[in-house]
Chain A
Amino acid sequence: MAAATREVYWNVGPVWPMYLMFAAALAVFGHGFYHRHYKLWRLGRAERRGASPRERLRGLALYALAQLRVLRDRYSGVFHLLFSWGIAVLTVGTLVVMVHQDFGIPVMRGRFYLYFQSLTLDIFGLLAMAGVAMAAAKRYLIRPDRLNTNAMDGLALGALFVILAQGFALEGLRIAATGDPWAAWSPIGSAIAAGVKALGWSVETARAWHAALWWSHAALAFAAIAALPWTKAFHLVTGPANIYFRSLEPKGALRPLDLEASETLGAARLTDFSVKDLFDLSACMECGRCQQACPAYNTGKPLSPKMVILDLRGHLREAGPGLLAARRRGGAAGAGGGDGAGGSAGAHAGAGTGGAAGVGGVAGAGPQAGEGPSPLIGQVIAEETLWSCTTCRACMTECPVFIEHVPKIIDLRRYLVMERSDFPPGMQEAMRGLEARGHPFRGATASRSDWYRDLGVPEMAEVGDAREIDVLHWAGCAAAFDERNQRVARAFARVMQRAGVRFAVLGPEENCTGDPARRIGHEYLFQVLARQNIATLQGYGVTRIVTACPHCFNTLKNEYPRFGGEFEVIHHSRFIARLLAEGRLRLSDGAGAGAARRLTYHDPCYLGRYNDTYDEPRAVLDRLPGSERVEMTRSRDRGFCCGGGGGRAWLEETGARINHARAGEAVGTGADTIAAACPFCLMMLEDGVKARQGEREVSVRDLAELVEETTRPREAGKGGGGGADGEGGGGGGH
């Protein structure tokens, strides 16, 4: 066995032309890498993404080697794993030949030769071919909507298949011609050799075919390497790099914007994006998983996260060279500061489109004053596309290479909102409300203190010092101003009272956290609100905050630290779960709450995908007596948005409604109660359920309400509305 080996470069004649071909392939690859990608990335603003290399390497292992994200689609994940690992192992096999022959280290012999170089390579080669076949079946037979197929795809799959098949044919011909004594270790090669013999080929014929095949195999493999930068297989290079340089910031924190120093607020052109944003564009391999998960796309809105990336990439390739040339000419005019601080009055006079100013929507698509060359919005990405995003993060959760879609959309929105004041009227109203009243609900008839007026909930102004309380209850605007959510706030307050939690509210001193402003793109307003709230909270020495709103939760927890507000922030689902686990709440044995009930839980995006809280809300539901919990098909990190995020709650939806789709899915589980843990989800789903009414009675309840009714003290629990819990008083009576 120790003698086991084979002759390297058998039958191929002089080998030096291969090295020449390889060098040529590398040169072509380098040219494409530089001109088609690298130099274009450098158009972006500088961004540092190198910190915490250990964490980054861990991600590389999980997502590039183990391909956990790719495996989220089981079928595609399996075939990708098969051919990517197949090719990787075969490449190692090729490198082994190089080490053996060129470095003169005789590794290709003995056990290693038999186990790895013969048997393992045969197995991986076969698996890779199976993977390619599965990929072709997916693309040409199953044809999911997420894939756009062109000739290039067929060519790439075909080439890959041919290269692999050539490898096996070479092995078979060699075995047939040489009578290799170790042939049994190469089962596929042996089988082919048997076939060759069956055909009755002479040794000479086999040798002639072998030589020709060997050179065409090399040529095809090198051509494939050379072509990489021009194909989406380039993600072989950019994918892992993109995974390595992924954002390690909290998922829920949008990147802050320096309002004083930024020349342009938001992104008007390619050069306003960061290097990483442009790198993302090269990493996309067009798998369309983002699009498949997108609630906007799935309900027929003019948004596909995939197309956002591809359109930006197309534009980068088209306009990038021109921008680079302009930059090289030293022209700050081209890529640089077209619209400096120089006189906003002038800009106004120039851009004024008469009476339309400020009304929005009608502004022409043409370049606006100060935008410089190649404006993105209107030309490359439509405004309606930007406003269709609910910022639910489903796209970013699916992307196998961690492309950041949402931050790009927000940057484009920032430009529209802050530089052009051009955004949908519904959102304008919400922003005016935030500015004038600190909440986004136009025409609210309630005041911030209405919901707790009769509950004996103290305000911080009365308590004075946060050391007097266990936790501050951040109610949020929805709880204060939306009648339906006032009931949730009341239920949660009662639950805390029953558990003996000492808490207080800010009441009239509370302002919107700024989440809607930030997601709509009004970073300035967000920062004003954030600073105000942080000052108020710190003024009372608040350290712990509990809130029933995942949007408030996310902003307080993940976004305020960048502005100096460090608090321990807990979502009410986790808080209640803890109270239950500690035995601080007594659940009735089901007598009060009524008969058996089927529940389904809807994951709010800003609690689930953004903050990885999936189990606590379910733990709370599972403790409710007489309840059975069923899951929707799309749940946990695959949860389908309610349609209310990203400022969409203030816009009318056109066509099919996201909330109707989601409500339909929830009702389809056979549940009679949809449990929510977010005021916006609650409103959206309740609307969705109402639209389907007549089918079946389904109620939408917040976790706190469900817990409240099962912890209700016996004596108050009989009649419908009687006793201490008379509802409805919280809302606006008139």
Chain B
Amino acid sequence: MRIVVCVKQVLDPELPQRDFRLDPDGKEAAPGRASRVISTFDEIALEVALQLREKAGGGQVTALTLGGKPAEEALRKALAMTADAAVRVDDDGLGAPGEGLGRLDGFAVAAVLAAAIRRLGGADLVLCGRQAADTDAGQVGLLLAEELGVPTVASAVSGEPAGEAVRLKRETPGGYEVVEARLPALATVTNADVNVPRIPKVKDVMASFKKPLTVWTAADLGVDPAATAPRVALRRLFIPERETACEMVGGDSPEAQAEALAERILALKVLETRGWRHAGAGLRFRPGGGAGQAASGTDRRRPRPGGVPGR
């Protein structure tokens, strides 16, 4: 089975909020010191492809990306995860002028990727992450299926070969469903326990630096740059302002502090007051009791898994 996985390189979604900057032109996140990683769902798609190859007892997994030279790092990571081949389509000169996020829209990206897949000689199965970790648009996969004229299954979590078809599992709120798609087909992939991306083995990491990368330009693919002009224009990109105020509640004893806090909460009218006063008067604040559990250091060191939107 020949599988192509489309991967996008994005700024680290775990970049601390305060380090997140926008370019002065206002249409692009400034890379700054942020690291670049494979978009979360794309890495998962890669894992699903590798598992499919294992289940089929062979096959070829090709990682395909559209981007500049730095995007090759995402391809190296894919090769380290044991993808068999990697292709970068250079985005130079495509789309609207400038560098911003609005430069290429989903239509254009799908068109270029489709051209690359055709140039590869087609694929039995194309896998895409269900949405990119930066734009969250969730369009390219479906548009690409349209471009290639193949059936598509959205939000698959795993697959297995089934003769001339692929059997895909989709998670649903009440359980899961299994669908079969005639090949060639395309599926977008979402996260599940069974497709946590593997950590590459060190030997594979070292070998990935020796594997060849294929680089194509738009011209190689016969793509007319003019046809990649965005049909959806990005007008404004901004970080929402959020005002926070911190206020210290005074008091000499824990009881007095609790009293003052309750007063303040009531004054701010963020709680309904029915019976509050009465119940509050009966509360005894035990110094130190329970506060420790509320903010355990374990929580502090390992905050909730983040970075996977929509989980």
Enumerate chain A interface residues (CB-CB to B < 8 A).
259-260, 265, 341, 344-345, 348-349, 352, 354-355, 357-359, 417-421, 423, 426, 428-429, 431-432, 436-438, 441-447, 450, 482-484, 508, 522-524, 649-650, 652, 683-684, 686-687, 690-691, 693-694, 697, 721, 732-734
Contact = CB atoms under 8 A, between A and B. Distances in A.
A188 to B, nearest CB: 63
Interface stretch (B118-126, B133-141, B293-301): B293-301
Given A446-B16, A693-B292, A428 B54 contact: no
A694 B288 contact: yes
Contact of B244 (A358, A446, A734): A734
B298 A341 contact: no
Contacts of A341: 203, 207
A354 B48 CA distance: 10
B309 to A, nearest CB: 14
B81 to A, nearest CB: 9
A523 B50 CA distance: 26
Given A483-B300, A508-B33, 16 more contacts: A259-B202, A259-B206, A354-B51, A358-B198, A358-B199, A359-B193, A423-B199, A437-B12, A437-B14, A438-B35, A441-B301, A445-B16, A447-B16, A693-B289, A697-B288, A734-B17
B302 A345 contact: no
Nearest to B158: A355
Interface string B192-203: 011111111111
12 contacts: A260-B206, A345-B82, A354-B55, A355-B51, A358-B196, A358-B198, A436-B12, A443-B306, A445-B16, A447-B16, A482-B301, A697-B288
B198 to A, nearest CB: 3
Chain A to chain B: the 3 pairs with minimum beta-carbon distance, closest first? A358-B198, A690-B292, A443-B303
A259 B201 CA distance: 12
A357 B306 contact: no
Contacts of B286: 694
B304 interface: yes
B183 interface: no
A479 to B, nearest CB: 13
A344 B288 contact: no
Nearest to A508: B33
Interface in B190-226: 193-207
Contacts of B203: 265, 341, 344, 418-419
Contacts of B12: 436-437
Contacts of A345: 82, 84
B271 interface: no
Nearest to A443: B303
Nearest to A430: B302
Given A445-B17, A482-B301, A508-B33, A431 B199 contact: yes
Contacts of B50: 348, 357
Residue from A426, A447, A483, A522 having most chain B Cβ neighbours under 10 A: A447
B8 to A, nearest CB: 15
A354 B54 contact: yes
Contact of A442 (B55, B193, B298, B303): B303
A60 to B, nearest CB: 39
B248 interface: yes
B246 A733 contact: yes
Nearest to A441: B301
Given A349-B54, A436-B37, A447 B18 contact: yes
B200 A421 contact: yes
Contact of B201 (A349, A421, A683): A421
Nearest to B306: A443
Contacts of A522: 202
A194 B194 CA distance: 85
Contacts of A352: 51, 54
A377 to B, nearest CB: 15
Given A418-B201, A443-B14, A426 B298 contact: no
A650 B301 contact: yes
A344 B204 contact: yes
B93 interface: no
Interface of B: 12, 14, 16-19, 33, 35, 37, 47, 50-51, 53-55, 57-58, 82, 84, 158, 193-207, 242, 244, 246, 248, 286, 288-289, 291-293, 296-298, 300-307
Contacts of A693: 288-289, 291-292
Nearest to B160: A354
A437 B32 CA distance: 13
B33 A421 contact: no
Contacts of B35: 436-438
Contacts of A354: 51, 54-55
Contacts of A733: 244, 246
Contacts of A446: 16, 18
B58 A482 contact: no
Given A443-B14, A693-B289, A733-B246, A421 B199 contact: yes
A455 B292 CA distance: 30
A342 to B, nearest CB: 11
Given A482-B301, A694-B288, A687 B296 contact: yes
Contacts of A436: 12, 14, 35, 37
B297 A686 contact: yes
B163 to A, nearest CB: 20
A437 B307 CA distance: 13
Given A349-B57, A358-B197, A437-B12, A265 B300 contact: no
B78 to A, nearest CB: 14
A686 to B, nearest CB: 6
B301 A683 contact: yes
Contacts of A423: 199
A357 B242 CA distance: 42
Contacts of B37: 436
B16 A721 contact: no
Nearest to A522: B202
Contacts of B54: 348-349, 352, 354, 357
A524 B244 contact: no
A713 B207 CA distance: 58
Contact of B205 (A358, A444, A445, A524): A524
Contacts of B18: 445-447, 450, 732
B199 A428 contact: yes
A694 B287 CA distance: 7
A423 B204 CA distance: 17
A265 B202 CA distance: 9
B300 A694 contact: no
Nearest to B20: A447
A426 B201 contact: no
Given A437-B12, A683-B301, A420 B201 contact: yes
B297 A421 contact: no
Contacts of A687: 296-298
A363 to B, nearest CB: 12
B12 to A, nearest CB: 6
A423 B50 CA distance: 20
A114 B176 CA distance: 94
Contacts of A523: 202
B302 A443 contact: yes
A445 B207 CA distance: 34
Contacts of B57: 349
Contacts of A691: 292
Nearest to A418: B202
A419 B84 contact: no
A431 B197 CA distance: 13
A517 B127 CA distance: 33
Contacts of B305: 442-443
A352 B53 CA distance: 10
A508 B204 CA distance: 29
A352 B195 CA distance: 13
Contact of B194 (A355, A419, A443, A524): A355
Contact of A358 (B47, B158, B246): B47
Contacts of B14: 436-437, 442-444
A432 B248 CA distance: 38
Contacts of A444: 14, 16, 303
